[in-house]
Amino acid sequence: MKTNYNNKIPNDFFNNVLKISTSTIISALVVAITLPIITKMFSASILGKYQLLISIINIFGVISCFKYEMAIVIPEKDDIASRVLILCLLALSSFCLILLLIFYFTSGVLLKALNAENLIDTFWLIPIGVLFLGLFEIIKYSLLRKKLFNHFSKARVYQVLSTQSLMIIFGLIKPSFISLFLAFISGHFISTMAFLKKSLMKIKPSKNIQIFKVAKKFKKFPFFNTPMVFANTLSNELPVFFLATYFSSETLGYFLLANRLIVIPMNLIGTAINKVYFQKASETFNRNKKDLFELYISTTKKLILLGIPPLFVFYFLSDFIVDLIFGDNWVVTGQMMKIIAVTAFFKFITSPIGTSFTIINKQDFAFYLTFLSLVLRFFIMLNFHNSISSLFWAFTISSAIYYIVYHIFVFRLLSEISKDNE
């Protein structure tokens, strides 16, 4: 008898998913509306410098709290969770200080390697950006712990709305690379301060739990989650660093626009599916382990069907869309979008089902596959960077191989579980 996967899920779950999904949609619309204005104010070269800086900040930002921020939602008692929050703040401040010292002594070497000597005098912006990015992540996880999904959603919208608005305002005053960065940190600062009070947790002096004990209790996060997230982020940012090294900041600007135009619509659907799949897969696995395999097959088929239409739209109409909205100056963006769309498709049909490893307690497989992705993408792109087209096809082909291998591992593991529990 075939399992019906349309089992009723509690209304509060759907409400929370709706809140988060709605914020994603609003944020995406804000970006889509403001991008044509921003590209008129800032040149591709300026946007390229900004993209490189943000990519560096993102890589360090995701590990700035050593992933302890994820542990904020885990403790049953608020008293322990408050200590985790303090631990995150200590880790973040220490990380940013160390990062500042590292860049002070090595920024010349590192930025020259990326063909970004024009950023050497502004290396101090990187730790500042990491600091604000880390603070915002702590706030978001604190809101999730307190089940303030509505505030969590608002925080995301506030951040995007304030950042994009300030880009336009600063662009009217003086369109420069620094203007874009100030908009970035201001957006994160505004959203952080707006929800700071709501995210804070009370500390009870009578239950004085040492920070060191808390750090030890959740040591798996820095030891396992941190390197995996770092490798995954670095892997996804590889096109930025290859473009910076072998091409120009102007080319990076074209990529910034292409990437955002592709990621926006694909993430709209992917984010919601990811959350629904994780909840339903967890429920299915706890109820009857063998049914998880059928759910995976069913979800993958639906993801392929959902992903094909935008793939065709972007692949065949990118040139027309870019020319219509942004003009002839951004024609390279349209050419990039064709290839990026293929990568986005494979990522779209894989990302939601990636939580399967967590559900079946096989995170080590995800860890190894993440490093496989990094190594595979790097060496293939290293051998095919003679032109922008070959570089992006190298990234796309290596990504496709990685995502296919990912699916193979999920398929085999879930299939074995299904057979073992028949």
Best CA proximity match to 163, nearest among 132, 139, 188, 196: 188
Confidence at residue 204, expressed as pLDDT on a 0 to 100 scale: 55
Burial label for 278, CB within 10 Å (0-12, 13-18, 19+), is middle
| More confidently predicted of 133 and 140 | 133
* CB-based contacts of 16, cutoff 8 Å, min separation 6: 149
Residue 27's pLDDT is 79
Asked if pLDDT for residue 348 goes beyond 80, the answer is yes
pLDDT at 32: 83
Q: Which of 121-130, 148-157, 285-294, 307-316 is least confident? A: 148-157
Whether the pLDDT of residue 10 is over 80: the answer is no
Q: Is the pLDDT of residue 163 over 90?
A: yes
Give me the pLDDT at residue 70, please: 80
| Angle subtended at Cα 399 by Cα 395 and Cα 402, rounded to the nearest 5 degrees | 145
3-state secondary structure of 296: helix
Record the tokens describing residue 310, joined without a space: 């935008």
Q: Determine whether 237 is exposed, middle or buried from the number of CB atoms within 10 Å of its CB (0-12, 13-18, 19+).
A: middle
Residue 275: how many CB atoms within 10 A of its CB?
Answer: 17
pTM of the model: 0.83
Whether residue 18 is predicted with pLDDT greater than 70 in this model: the reply is no
134: buried, middle or exposed (CB in 10 Å: 19+, 13-18, 0-12)? Answer: buried
Q: Which of 174-183, 203-212, 229-238 has the lowest mean pLDDT?
A: 203-212
Percent of the chain whose predicted confidence (pLDDT) is above 70: 88
- Determine the Cα–Cα distance for residues 119 and 294; give it in Å rounded to an integer: 51
pLDDT-derived band at 340 (thresholds 50, 70, 90) equals very high
67: alpha, beta or left? (left if phi > 0; alpha if psi -120 to 50): left
Does the structure show a pLDDT above 90 at 266? no
Please tell me the least confidently modeled range out of 10-14, 167-171, 210-214. 10-14
Q: Report whether pLDDT(9) > 60.
A: no
Residue 7, Cβ density class (10 Å: 0-12 exposed, 13-18 middle, ≥19 buried): exposed
- pLDDT of residue 16 exceeding 90: no
pLDDT surpasses 60 at 1: no
Amino acid letter, residue 280: K
